[in-house]
Amino acid sequence: MNSPYSLMGQTVLVTGGTGVGVGAGVCEAVIEAGGTLVINGHQPQALAKAVARHPGAFGVLGDVTSEHDADRMFREAAEQTGGPVTGLVNNAGVGLSGLFYQVSTAEFDKLYDVDVRGLWLMSRAFARQILPTGKEGAIVNISSVHSHSTMSRYALYAGAKAAVDGLTRGMAVELGTHRLRCNSLAPGYVHADQNEDLIRSWTDDPIGWIDKHTGTQQAIPRMIEAIDCGRAAVFLLSPASRMITGQTIYLDGGMTAMIYPRDIMENIT
């Protein structure tokens, strides 16, 4: 695979890659592109299942919010694969739905501990292990459309994802002279079955809400799938994007580009 879109010869660590959402799509796409995949998870059984789903993948157990674990995971990844990690996808994250003035300090701390501090710790460990090698590499941070526009009960989550985008720009500037790139990927609504329980917090008809969202809130009325996010992440990791850094790419079917939803502009073509 001599294509600039190939990850052949690259080792990519995906944090929080044990689920069925965006992280799973990234893992699938890395394998598809010929890269060596290292999956991070913090639960042994879930990690083992994820590694089994992706033949040839390696696993590193650890908590992204732990400074010790972050450094150790890169050492273990290098020992297992025979070389440094050249690509990092900071996918691990937690959500939070609640009015900002009703959220507890414990809930706030957990959100920012995982989504911001964990991302920083993993990125720092990545930089420290690759800089001495002189190799080129890339970081992809999973952000969200909430960093651009948000909704009620998501003020704190939107703030965390805005911090992700700010860190992305700053890290890109600081890493650029070493030919290391850093971009963020901001998906819109990516369906997974477990999302239905969350959607029930604001509607009694989650399936209807999902269908209406896809048909009226996106310029492209097609459900965004995890593999769409994965392939976009692979592009940002690959040599094909070698001059793209410090950017936030919205993978949202055009949602953030629209002023009005389709259903109130239905007579305009």
As a whole number of angstroms, the distance between CA 51 and CA 264 comes to 46
What averages of pLDDT result for each successive group of 10 residues across the chain (269 residues)?
A: 91 96 97 98 97 97 98 98 98 95 98 98 98 98 97 96 98 98 97 79 86 93 96 98 98 95 75
The CA-to-CA distance between both ends of the chain, in Å, stands at: 43
Tell me the β-bridge partners of 181. Answer: 138
Task: Read off the pTM.
Answer: 0.96
Distances (CA, A) of 220 to 45, 73, 254: 38, 39, 6
Distances (CA, A) of 211 to 152, 195, 221, 252, 265: 20, 13, 9, 15, 18
Give 207-232 pLDDT, tens digit per residue: 898 989 999 999 999 999 999 999 99
Give 132-176 pLDDT, tens digit per residue: 999 999 999 999 999 999 999 999 999 999 999 999 999 999 999
The architecture in CATH of the region 11-192+225-256 reads: 3-Layer(aba) Sandwich (3.40)
As a whole number of angstroms, the distance between CA 13 and CA 36 comes to 9
Within 13 Å, how many C-alpha atoms sit on residue 189's CB side? 26
Structural domain boundaries of the chain? Answer: 11-192+225-256
174-195: burial string, b at 16+ Cβ within 10 Å, e else? ebeeeebbbbbbbbbbbebeee
As a whole number of angstroms, the distance between CA 204 and CA 196 comes to 10
